[in-house]
């Protein structure tokens, strides 16, 4: 097997930043060999080279003393040492490192080429939220029980469209509902949140309205609502948009939550590739229907392909 590792990847992580994160959590307390830096290098190497075992990482790094020195290590970490480090070191040190790196490179990430630019909302912060289910073999991962004969985990992701990188990731048991997979679902004023109908929730919608977030999501098929008025569609363009209307939610649950008096908007879009109409709900009443439809299209491109 041929291994590859570009040292510039390691150099993108300022050593001082990693040291401060380690100090915050006393991550190197009682360690003499497998320090936080060593663990970071070893696991990064293993991830980039698709190493399936700790033995593979140890063997590959130890192929050359020069390579070990270039990585900033004193020796190739042994499998047993890596195993102990993975068990004992607080994962939050790397969580902190990730968020500090996002802040450190925020300007560069935000200003690089953006493939999905919608002029009407240019420079707005757009968060795409979704989850994905990963099946696991129960005989190997008995802790990942999902169904009788099936194991799995669920990865919940909040994707920053400008940076083209996730800023929140949470891994849970597979049976947890998407709605509860992320602690942060309310964002700073003006943020646009795009997601699938698994997150369609009256309480959440009302919280976002109060926080002045804009949500764009699929409406559930059994949602009860009343149409207030239909909006005019432009002539000869946007032929995929078949209906644009202002509505109010009228179910008992909506009245209980006190969202029934809030005007919302439904944009009905024909998807030719699936030969069906999808209905998108949003609290944004002023943008064009094209903008609403394109926002949901971004979601499908980035997270559902």
The pLDDT, as a whole number, for residue 142 is 86
- DSSP of 86-130, one letter per residue? HHHS-THHHHHHHHHHHHHTHHHHHHS--S---GGGTT--EEEEE
113 and 73 fall within a common domain:
no
| Two structure tokens written together for 85 | 């480090």
Residue where one domain finishes, among candidates 49, 80, 104:
104
Asked whether residue 71 falls in the same domain as residue 180, the answer is: no
In a domain, 2, yes or no: no
Assess whether 158 and 268 both reside in one domain.
yes
Q: 135 and 169, same structural domain?
A: yes
CA distances from 208 to 46, 72, 217 (A): 40, 46, 13
Q: What pLDDT is attached to residue 143?
A: 86
The tens place of each residue's pLDDT in the chain, 305 residues long, gives 555 566 788 889 999 999 999 999 999 998 888 999 999 999 999 998 889 899 999 999 998 898 899 888 999 999 999 999 999 999 999 999 999 999 999 888 877 656 567 888 888 999 999 999 999 988 888 888 888 778 999 999 999 988 888 989 999 999 999 999 999 999 999 999 999 999 999 999 999 999 999 999 999 999 999 999 999 998 888 889 999 999 999 999 999 999 999 999 999 999 988 899 999 999 999 999 999 999 998 877 665 54
**Locate tokens 């190493």: which residue?**
51
Residue 170 token pair: 């949470």
Q: What local confidence, expressed as pLDDT, does residue 300 receive?
A: 74
First to last CA, the chain: 30
211 in the same domain as 197:
yes
Q: What is the pLDDT of residue 4?
A: 58
Q: Give the pLDDT confidence score for residue 82 in this predicted structure.
A: 95
| Domain interval for residue 235 | 108-303
Name beta bridge partners: 214.
Answer: 192
Do 67 and 126 reside in the same domain of the chain? no
- Predicted confidence at residue 53, as pLDDT, reads 93
Position 106 scores a pLDDT of: 87
| 1 within a domain of the structure (yes/no) | no
H/E stretch holding 55 reads helix 54-61
Domain end residue (candidates: 40, 69, 104): 104
93 and 130 co-located in one domain: no
CA atoms within 13 Å, Cβ hemisphere of 141: 14
pLDDT score, position 181: 94
- Report the pLDDT value the prediction gives residue 112, as an integer from 0 to 100: 67
Do 42 and 141 fall within a single domain? no
Q: What is the pLDDT of residue 3?
A: 56
- Same structural domain for residues 120 and 61? no
Q: How high is the pLDDT of residue 303? A: 58
Q: Determine the pLDDT at residue 64.
A: 87
């Amino acid at each position: 097997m041929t291994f590859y590792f570009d040292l510039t990847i390691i150099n993108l992580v300022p050593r001082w930043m990693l040291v401060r994160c380690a100090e915050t959590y006393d991550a190197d307390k009682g360690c003499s060999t497998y320090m936080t830096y060593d663990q970071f290098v070893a696991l990064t190497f293993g991830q980039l080279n698709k190493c399936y075992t700790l033995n593979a990482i140890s063997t590959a790094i130890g192929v050359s003393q020069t390579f070990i020195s270039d990585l900033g290590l004193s020796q190739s970490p042994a499998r047993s040492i890596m195993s102990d480090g993975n068990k004992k070191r607080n994962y939050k040190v790397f969580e902190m490192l990730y968020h500090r790196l996002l802040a450190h490179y925020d300007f560069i990430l935000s200003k690089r080429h953006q493939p999905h630019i919608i002029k009407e909302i240019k420079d707005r912060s757009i968060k795409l939220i979704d989850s994905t289910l990963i099946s696991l073999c129960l005989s190997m991962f008995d802790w990942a029980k999902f169904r009788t004969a099936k194991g799995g985990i669920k990865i919940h992701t909040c994707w920053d469209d400008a940076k083209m990188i996730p800023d929140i990731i949470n891994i849970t048991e597979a049976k947890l509902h998407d709605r509860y997979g992320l602690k942060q679902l309310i964002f700073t004023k003006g943020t646009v949140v795009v997601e699938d109908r698994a997150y369609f929730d009256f309480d959440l919608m009302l919280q976002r309205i109060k926080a002045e977030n804009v949500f764009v999501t699929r409406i559930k098929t059994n949602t009860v609502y009343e149409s207030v008025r239909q909006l005019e569609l432009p002539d000869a363009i946007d032929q995929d948009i078949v209906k644009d209307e202002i509505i109010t939610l009228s179910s008992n649950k909506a009245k209980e939550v006190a969202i029934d008096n809030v005007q919302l908007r439904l944009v009905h879009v024909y998807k030719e590739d699936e030969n069906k109409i999808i209905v998108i709900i949003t609290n944004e009443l002023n943008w064009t229907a094209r903008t609403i439809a394109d926002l949901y299209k971004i979601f499908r491109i980035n997270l559902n392909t």
